[in-house]
Amino acid sequence: MINKLKIITYGTFDLLHIGHINLLKRSKTLGHYLMVGLSTDEFNLLKHKSSILSFEDRKTILEAIKYVDFVFQENSWNQKIDDIKKYNADIFVMGDDWQGEFDYLKTECPVKYLPRTSKISTTLYKNKLKNAK
């Protein structure tokens, strides 16, 4: 029997690394269709973050990953409930560094926090690049 669940997750996915791939792979194993809300450049600025890669480049890279079925824009913190309803998501997934932050979504669907890959992050990469100059 095929698992017909739709999974939804969010992120910036800048400087793609093995931690991102592991999270996407683990997310996909929970269902059959993985949807990724990708933070726009404008939303990243509101979060006081900046990406090395543009939204369009990050989107193209995500769409090329075999675990990802659909990528859409994340424009604000508040859109998650609407997205869950709009895309008929069955499970909301985030890395466990967000543990508890999205529990309010449990009224819409189960929320699952997956372990992050240790000793790797985009911030670590950015710091290494900065220090290499």
The per-residue pLDDT for range 67-91, each reduced to its tens digit, is 999 999 999 999 999 999 999 999 9
Q: For the whole model, what pTM was predicted?
A: 0.90
Beta-carbon count within 10 A of 99 CB: 11
Q: State the catalytic residue, choosing from 4, 25, 49, 80.
A: 49
The amino acid occupying position 42 is E
Q: State the catalytic residue, choosing from 47, 66, 85, 106.
A: 47
Task: Tell me if 59 is assigned to some domain.
Answer: yes
Catalytic-residue membership of 47: yes
Task: Tell me if 1 is assigned to some domain.
Answer: no
- Radius of gyration (Cα) for the chain, nearest Å? 15
pLDDT band at 52 (very low <50, low <70, confident <90, very high): confident
List the strands of the sheet with 70-74, edge to edge.
70-74, 33-39, 6-11, 91-95, 111-114
Residue 128's pLDDT is what?
A: 65
Q: What is the CATH number of the domain that holds 96?
A: 3.40.50.620
pLDDT band at 49 (very low <50, low <70, confident <90, very high): confident
Task: Tell me if 48 is assigned to some domain.
Answer: yes
- Domain with 42, as residue range(s), is 6-131
Total domains in the fold of the chain: 1
